[in-house]
Amino acid sequence: MTFSICVREEYTDDEGERQTRFGVAVTTRLPGVGTLCPFASENGAVATQSLVNVELGRKGLAYLDDGLAVEDALPALLNADDGKESRQLHGVDADGTFAFSGEECKGWFGHTVGENYTVAGNLLTGEAVIEATAAAYESDAFGDAPLSERLIDALEAGHAEGGDKREDLPVQSAALIVETTEDREGGDPYYTDLRVDATETPIADLRETHETAARGWEDALAKYEREAEDAEDGKDAEDPEENDERDDAE
């Protein structure tokens, strides 16, 4: 009842160190998809859908965090699941990808796997939905925009191709999560873990939420920088003798 995308991207941080970020985004014609389907950590991203078994996502991510490869972790969980043929499960880790669609998923269903991403969906208007989602991501993979924004672009492309075919269900939802191996001293940006739980315009609302959260993050950073500068200026003004000593030393 869903389509989703999981991605892995390597990049260089501001200190010149190589890092990896993982992202997952999902939308469906039911409320609260963000509580059920997407999972991500600094070790990978996983999406569980169709007849959802949330434990496949939770345990799958836990296995990745324990160092198990995605190609081993997710099949092991599926092999122990009696409802396997009604599931879709896909994801990425630092080195590999995996995607599965059970034969009893509701049509149209299927998945595609790229070099550093996976896309899957069920109860869709057709294969064009996941093709458009994948193509939109590939067209700007590793682009200048934040991964969170590019994941929304990918969902929007799939939605424009028809998305979930159940037009009789007006309440929809969408969600995204982005994690990274980078140690962020200032904390994680506000726009990397977002959900729109009940709306008739999930992609537009997710984008608006993302833009608002990103703006709030930038405003907060600017505020803290101003406060730090004001505090430093105040300290210098209160201790002119120390300033003179510093000037003499220079």
- 237 confidence band (pLDDT: 50, 70, 90): low
User: pLDDT tier at 97 (50, 70, 90 boundaries)?
Assistant: very high
Q: What is residue 177's predicted lDDT score, i.e. its pLDDT?
A: 98
Please tell me the predicted confidence (pLDDT) of residue 216.
83
Q: Which residues pair with 50 in a beta bridge?
A: 87
The dihedrals phi and psi of 100, each to the nearest 5 degrees, come to -140, 135
Could you tell me the residue ranges of all domains in the chain?
A: 2-221
Of residues 178 and 224, more confidence is placed in 178
Q: Is 236's pLDDT higher than 70? A: no
Q: What is the pLDDT of residues 17-49, one digit of tens each?
A: 999 999 999 999 999 999 999 999 999 999 999
Inform me whether the pLDDT recorded for 152 exceeds 70. yes
Rounded average pLDDT over 107-126: 97
Residue 145 has pLDDT above 60, yes or no: yes
Cα–Cα distance for residue pair 199/193, rounded to 1 Å: 18
Banded pLDDT at 240 (limits 50, 70, 90): low
pLDDT band at residue 238 using 50, 70 and 90 as cut-offs: low
* Secondary structure of residue 163 in the 3-state scheme: coil
What whole-number distance in Å separates Cα of residue 149 and Cα of residue 192? 9
Domain 2-221 CATH class label: alpha beta
Close Cβ partners of 61 (under 8 Å, ≥ 6 residues apart):
39, 40, 41, 43, 44, 46
Reported pTM: 0.88
For residues 81-101, give the mean pLDDT: 98
